[in-house]
Amino acid sequence: MILLILLVVLAVVLLAAAVYATIQKDLLYAVLATGVVSLALSVFFYLLQAPDVAITEAAIGIALTTIIFIITIRNTTRDEDKYSEDMINRFKTEKE
Amino acid sequence: MIKRSFVVFLLLVLGVAVYEAFRQAPFGQNRIGDVENPQSVSAFYLKHSPETLHTANSVTAIVVNFRGFDTLGEVTVLFLAATGLASILYRRKEEEEAAEKGHLPQRIQLPSSVLVRTGAKILFPLILMLGIYVFVHGHLTPGGGFQGGAIIATGFLLMFITYKRFNVNHNVLIWLESLSGLAFVLTGVYGLISYGSFLQNTGWTGRLNDLISGGLIPLIYIFIGIKVGTELTNVLDTLLHTKPRRNE
Amino acid sequence: MSNYQEIISQYRPLLEIIVYGSAVALILIGLYAVLVKKHLVKLVIGLSLIDSGVNLLFVGVGYVTNHTAPIFSPGFETAADKMVDPVPQALVLTAIVIGFAVTALALSLVIRLYRHHKTANVEQLNRLRW
Amino acid sequence: MVVSPVHLIAAPLAAAFLIPLLNKLYRDAARVVPGVVFLYNLSVSWILVNRVFRSGPIVEVIAGWKPPFGINLVMTPFSAVLVMLVSFMAFVIWLYGFRFKRSLKGGVVMYYEILQMMMAAGSLGIILTGDLFNMFVFVEITGITAIALTAFYRDRDGAEAGFKYMLLGSMASVFLLLGILLIYTQTGSLNMAQIAERMPAVATGVKVTALIFLLISLGTEAEMFPLNGWAPDAYSQAPSPTSAAFAAVLGVAAIYALARVGFTLYDHGTVSGFLIAMGFLTMLFAEMAAITQTNLKRMLAYSSMGQMGLAMIAFGIGSEAALFGALFLIINHAIIKSLLFMTGSYFIYNLNDKRLRALNGIHKRLPYVSFLFALGALAIVGFPPFSGFWSKFYILTAAGAKQMMPLIIGILAVTVIEMTYYLRVIGRIYFAKEESEPASHKPSIQALVAMTSLAVLIIVLGLYPDLIAGFLHRASMFLLDKQTYIQTVLHLS
């Protein structure tokens, strides 16, 4: 029973993180949410008897994909509604 | 708003279609069939992975041998992505010259304390060893070339973001990258010459669950591990060295 | 472990909804982000969510109730008829790596677009219209 | 060592991995190596084509596992013709681009050459493979190279076109994966021959869903109507040899993959109506858009889309004569459209202006290139002495044999549109008053050789279509013969 609950909780975490990643305006948090999606997915794969896939998802999905997203955000803008910012104040999020 | 609700409607239709189509293959149903007299490809693979190839991890057997050609293509995709990335974000001439003299453009750096830096220094060799362990044991345990390569790349990533002056030697990277990829293709050609089929395994495959078993499978997975590790490190290196510029 | 397998066979329809349902939902959420959102990074996040959903669907389709991971570890050498389908797992390994490659390429394009246009809004990239 | 189809893919792969090393030893290695590889591929495919037409299809087993279980490469007469075409065009395009990028600096040329070479290798893989998932891998290889090449130039539009292509291409690959997975769950196989054998037993709902997914994804690659938004941007922003390769290499592979799904995996009757309708819409839309273009390369891109639409119609009609016409059309399209892109890019290079208006009176400055462009334009519209005439003629005849009068009228009407804008460009080149200063960039000798050989081919094929007609007839008969394909692949001696 506990394991069934675990699967349900995982699915809820997965979808909640995915929705959060879509609606969150601060892209850094959105990207971290995709990392959470990958984490939940990786546990999912493990429970579905696919340890190979779980390790791959953990190494590539959680670590590498998240970091390349973060690099991109540092090179573009962090706030979803502010498409362009002054290059120097890139990490300040105050409204114009 | 009209556009958005139209999109939502479209997505729901698509979702129902996909879900209904996949429900025709019920979750948890055994579609593999009899393993002794295989009718489906999966049963064939499950039968011949331990019997013929003597490879404990049948996913590895599929990835490296049964469907090894896919994997060659996949390694190529990664290689092409690294090449494409470099061509999209290539440095301009003056930066290239500066890089040759050793003055790389400043890398993105997160502030890191002494604790983090010391920890990274200790962790780095451990992560490398873990990566190497994973791809050397790819035919016995879960994991393999891709996973090991990705783990190695995470090790380098750790060093990249904690140490400002940590740079990989590009010559070594290029040599490893090229030679491991070439070695993969040449192993395939070896099969073509001696057994008449590209990527064919050797006749000698050892005993199930020995470290040296599975014929060429561990060897190929080591090449894949090196290739994927260098390729991913290369991608990270290129991305981390792009410097935002004011005008272009 | 036996407890786990018992539960899985008992609640198969519910599990079908959980696994297939979350996979399809992930694909839809990703597609929504791609179609509606305007920030370039958000579009790429959407793409990677779609990829995740497809991967989950692959692994879910390969699962067989009460079967174990397709690895012949010592002591289980004869368990070939008690294993989940290894083919989708092998395919999904390929798909994950390819997905990463495409994501990396897409993000490099985002960086370059931002440098040239000084904007990350997909609606302001309108130099190429029909 | 015996020559076999796998050489065609293994050689470029090995070369691609080697080029970064060789480039360190010898500066021009990246330029020369692809040519050597293409020459090797050309000779290999020549030998293989001869063998296929003499002694039947070749099935190459990979990793020693017989077809339903391992991956296999299949060289039927139909794919043999296309392999020959792609190998030849890849070589000619390499020759054309040999000096084209002299202006670029060291490392960048290497990236360009690797990507350009792998695009040809990936297309060869799509054509040769007999395995559905393997086809996905090759589609991804061509997709990634195409995106990176589209974004190759550092001006702003290149990255934008690349991003557009990337979005549509990713969607396409997601649908391709879903389609493959659906088919796998129902048939338990990834081998095309075995899928074809087991397909009749599959429930209709799943079958149709999978078909829709496959058509969406491959339709995106083959520039089918609502999904072809990437094409004009990608064609017009990519470097010129790449634009030529989009038409001559990638397009060939994409349309073949579409035909493969329609004819081998599914019954032809299932997709016939859909292909005719979508093909006609694609053609109509493309030619209507082409006539309004002010940019030369975009105009050529839309025209290319129109040709793909015509090929889809021919595959939709699906009689032996129509397939013959389609095959002829694909060959013509590859040759003529590359010639147009090659010559057109010399205009642009000289004028430093992509607009059609700038072409006024350019024949005085680039007489030979203008002559070749005019020849190509006349050929693609289908004027009688050139090869383009025959493909249109055969497709129309095939439509006539099936009593599809509205379709014939439609194709003819669209051809009139096509004729209008091509003649308008020719008019500009030859009869409009000259405006700007003399030419500064004469074509290099390699480019001249490449363009001239294509022009000669157009004329020779136009005057003597019988040279290849026999081969094409046998090839198109084989595509229709699904049972022989299944037998050949699944029951190896």
* Inter-chain residue contact D13 with B185, CB threshold 8 Å: yes
Q: How far apart are CA D242 and CA D230, in angstroms?
A: 15
Closest CA relative to residue D330, chosen from D383, D253, D274: D253
Q: Is the pLDDT of residue A1 over 70?
A: no
From chain D, pick out residues whose CB is under 8 angstroms from the CB of B191: 63-64
Q: Is the pLDDT of residue B164 over 80?
A: no
Q: Which two tokens stand for residue D492?
A: 């190896």
Give all domains of chain C, ordered by start, each with its CATH number.
Answer: 2-71+79-124 (1.10.287.3510)
Q: Is the pLDDT of residue C15 over 80?
A: yes
Closest CA in chain A for residue C93: A53
Q: Which two tokens stand for residue D367?
A: 């007489």
* Inter-chain residue contact C105 with D181, CB threshold 8 Å: no
How many interchain CB pairs under 8 A, C with D? Answer: 79
Q: What is the pLDDT of residues C54-102, one digit of tens each?
A: 999 999 999 888 888 888 877 776 677 888 899 999 999 999 999 999 9
User: Which range (A9-13, A72-76, C83-87, D163-167) has the least confidence?
Assistant: A72-76
Q: What is the pLDDT of residues D187-232, one digit of tens each?
A: 988 999 999 989 888 888 899 999 999 999 999 999 888 888 888 8
* Residue A93 pLDDT: 40
What's the mean per-residue pLDDT of chain B? 84
What's the mean per-residue pLDDT of chain D? 89
Number of domains in chain B: 1
* Inter-chain residue contact D166 with C102, CB threshold 8 Å: yes
Nearest CB neighbour to A68, from listed B161, B239, B244: B239
Domain that holds residue D92: 6-490
Q: What is the pLDDT of residues B180-202, one digit of tens each?
A: 999 999 999 988 888 888 888 88
DSSP D216-259: HHHHHHTT-GGG-THHHHHHHHS-HHHHHHIIIIIHHHHHHHHH
Average pLDDT over residues B227-247: 78
Most confident of A68-77, B159-168, D324-333, D384-393: D324-333
Q: How far apart are CA D54 and CA D66, in angstroms?
A: 24
Model-wide pTM > 0.90: yes
Q: Is the pLDDT of residue D154 over 80?
A: no
Q: Which two tokens stand for residue B12?
A: 């729901």
Q: What is the pLDDT of residues D77-115, one digit of tens each?
A: 999 999 999 999 999 999 998 876 666 666 788 888 899
Q: Is the pLDDT of residue B99 over 60?
A: no
Q: SS in 3 state form for B13-82? A: HHHHHHHHHHHCCCCECCCCCCCCCCCCHHHHHHHHHHHCCCCCEHHHHHHHHHCHHHHHHHHHHHHHHH
Shortest distance, CA C118 to any CA of chain A (angstroms): 6
Tell me, yes or no, if D206 comes closer than 8 A to chain B by beta carbon.
yes
Chain C: list its partners (3+ Cβ pairs within 8 Å): A, B, D
Q: Is the pLDDT of residue A95 over 50?
A: no
User: Which range (B181-190, C7-16, D47-56) has the least confidence?
Assistant: C7-16
Which residues in chain C (54-93) have CB-CB distances under 8 A to chain B? 57, 60-61, 63-65, 67, 69-74, 77, 80-81, 83, 85-87, 89-91, 93
For residue D186, being part of any structural domain is answered with yes
* Through-space distance between the first and last CA atoms of chain A, rounded to whole angstroms: 52
* Residue D93 pLDDT: 93
| Burial (Cβ within 10 Å: 0-12, 13-18, ≥19) of residue D70 | buried
| Burial (Cβ within 10 Å: 0-12, 13-18, ≥19) of residue A90 | middle
Q: How far apart are CA B153 and CA D371, in angstroms?
A: 55
Q: Is the pLDDT of residue C7 over 70?
A: no
* Residue C12 pLDDT: 79
Average pLDDT over residues B236-240: 85
Cβ(D435)–Cβ(D398) below 8 Å: no
Q: How far apart are CA D340 and CA B39, in angstroms?
A: 51
How many interchain CB pairs under 8 A, B with C? Answer: 159
Higher-pLDDT residue of D14, B165 = D14
Q: What is the pLDDT of residues D401-424, one digit of tens each?
A: 988 888 999 999 999 999 999 999
Q: Is the pLDDT of residue D271 over 90?
A: no
Average pLDDT over residues B121-147: 90
* Residue C120 pLDDT: 78
Average pLDDT over residues B112-138: 88
Q: SS in 3 state form for C59-121? A: HHHHCECCCECCECCCCCCCCHHHECCHHHHHHHHHHHHHHHHHHHHHHHHHHHHHHHHCCCE
Q: Is the pLDDT of residue B166 over 80?
A: no
Tell me, yes or no, if A71 comes closer than 8 A to chain C by beta carbon.
yes
Closest CA in chain D for residue B64: D63
Tell me, yes or no, if C122 comes closer than 8 A to chain A by beta carbon.
no
Q: Is the pLDDT of residue D73 over 80?
A: yes
D61 membership: H or E segment, kind and range: strand D58-61
From chain B, pick out residues whose CB is under 8 angstroms from the CB of D205: 20-21, 24
Which residues in chain C (9-48) have CB-CB distances under 8 A to chain B? 9, 12, 15-16, 19-21, 24-25, 27-28, 31-32, 35-36
Q: What is the pLDDT of residues C22-36, one digit of tens each?
A: 999 999 999 999 988
**C interface mutation test: which of A64, A65, A79, A89 has the most C CBs within 10 A?**
A65
User: Given the structure tokens 């699906």, which residue do they identify?
Assistant: D318
Q: In sequence order, which residues have a C-beta less than 8 Å from that of residue D466 and are 6 or more positions away?
A: none
* Residue C2 pLDDT: 54
Shortest distance, CA D111 to any CA of chain C (angstroms): 14
Nearest CB neighbour to C104, from listed B14, B25, B235: B235
Q: What is the pLDDT of residues D433-448, one digit of tens each?
A: 776 666 667 788 888 9
pLDDT bracket for residue B32 (50, 70, 90): confident
Q: In sequence order, which residues have a C-beta less than 8 Å from that of residue B16 and are 6 or more positions away?
A: none
How many interchain CB pairs under 8 A, A with C? Answer: 151
> Has the ipTM of the complex gone over 0.90?
yes
**Do chain C and D touch: 3 or more Cβ pairs under 8 angstroms?**
yes
Helix (H, G, I), strand (E, B) or coil at A79: strand
Dihedral angle sign, alpha carbons of residues D377, D381, D387, D391: positive
Q: Which two tokens stand for residue D481?
A: 């013969």
* Inter-chain residue contact C24 with B19, CB threshold 8 Å: yes
| Burial (Cβ within 10 Å: 0-12, 13-18, ≥19) of residue B167 | middle
* Residue B246 pLDDT: 41
For residue D1, being part of any structural domain is answered with no
Q: What percentage of chain D exceeds 70 in pLDDT? A: 96
Please state, as a whole number, how many other Cβ atoms lie within 10 Å of the Cβ of residue B230: 27
For residue B38, being part of any structural domain is answered with no
Chain B: list its partners (3+ Cβ pairs within 8 Å): A, C, D
Q: What percentage of chain D exceeds 90 in pLDDT? A: 51
Tell me, yes or no, if B7 comes closer than 8 A to chain D by beta carbon.
no
Q: How far apart are CA D381 and CA D398, in angstroms?
A: 19
Q: In sequence order, which residues have a C-beta less than 8 Å from that of residue A14 and are 6 or more positions away?
A: A37, A40, A41, A44, C22, C26
Q: How far is CA D43 from CA B21, D7, D38, D50, in A?
A: 46, 11, 9, 11
Q: In sequence order, which residues have a C-beta less than 8 Å from that of residue D253 and are 6 or more positions away?
A: D82, D86, D122, D123, D124, D126, D127, D142, D221
Q: Is the pLDDT of residue B106 over 70?
A: no
Higher-pLDDT residue of B126, D348 = B126
Tell me, yes or no, if D205 comes closer than 8 A to chain B by beta carbon.
yes
CA D226 distance to own-chain centroid: 19
Residue D2 main-chain phi, psi, to 5 deg: -80, 140
For residue B92, being part of any structural domain is answered with yes
* Inter-chain residue contact C49 with A15, CB threshold 8 Å: no
* Residue D88 pLDDT: 95
Which residues in chain B (47-66) have CB-CB distances under 8 A to chain A? 57, 59-60
Q: Is the pLDDT of residue A55 over 70?
A: yes
Q: Is the pLDDT of residue B117 over 90?
A: no
* Residue A90 pLDDT: 42
Q: Is the pLDDT of residue D251 over 70?
A: yes
Average pLDDT over residues B27-31: 84
Closest CA relative to residue D86, chosen from D240, D221, D249: D249
Cβ(B41)–Cβ(D189) below 8 Å: yes
Number of domains in chain D: 1
For residue B88, being part of any structural domain is answered with yes
Which residues in chain B (112-151) have CB-CB distances under 8 A to chain C? 140-142, 146
Closest CA in chain A for residue C6: A1
Cβ(B232)–Cβ(B153) below 8 Å: yes
Domain that holds residue B108: 64-240
* Residue D119 pLDDT: 94
pLDDT bracket for residue C10 (50, 70, 90): confident
Q: How far apart are CA D111 and CA B80, in angstroms?
A: 9
DSSP D191: B
* Inter-chain residue contact A90 with B244, CB threshold 8 Å: yes
DSSP D358: G
* Inter-chain residue contact C25 with B15, CB threshold 8 Å: yes
Please state, as a whole number, how many other Cβ atoms lie within 10 Å of the Cβ of residue D153: 17
Q: In sequence order, which residues have a C-beta less than 8 Å from that of residue D476 and are 6 or more positions away?
A: D78, D320, D323, D324, D326, D327
For residue B148, being part of any structural domain is answered with yes
* Inter-chain residue contact A72 with C110, CB threshold 8 Å: yes
* Inter-chain residue contact A90 with B235, CB threshold 8 Å: no
Q: How far apart are CA D469 and CA D475, in angstroms?
A: 10
* Residue D30 pLDDT: 83
| Burial (Cβ within 10 Å: 0-12, 13-18, ≥19) of residue B233 | buried
Which residues in chain C (38-57) have CB-CB distances under 8 A to chain A? 38-42, 44-46, 48-49, 52, 55-56
Q: How far apart are CA D25 and CA D27, in angstroms?
A: 7
**B interface mutation test: which of C31, C63, C94 has the most B CBs within 10 A?**
C94
Q: Is the pLDDT of residue D126 over 60?
A: yes
For residue B6, being part of any structural domain is answered with no
pLDDT bracket for residue A92 (50, 70, 90): very low
Percentages helix, strand, coil for chain B (3-state, rounded to 5) are: 65, 0, 35
* Inter-chain residue contact A52 with B147, CB threshold 8 Å: yes
* Inter-chain residue contact B90 with D111, CB threshold 8 Å: yes
Residue B143 main-chain phi, psi, to 5 deg: 110, 175
Nearest CB neighbour to C59, from listed A21, A48, A69: A48
User: Which range (D35-39, D215-219, D264-268, D323-327) has the least confidence?
Assistant: D264-268
Q: What is the pLDDT of residues A9-35, one digit of tens each?
A: 999 999 999 999 999 889 999 999 999
| Burial (Cβ within 10 Å: 0-12, 13-18, ≥19) of residue D55 | exposed
Which residues in chain D (19-48) have CB-CB distances under 8 A to chain B? 20-21, 24
Residues belonging to chain C: 130
Helix (H, G, I), strand (E, B) or coil at D295: strand
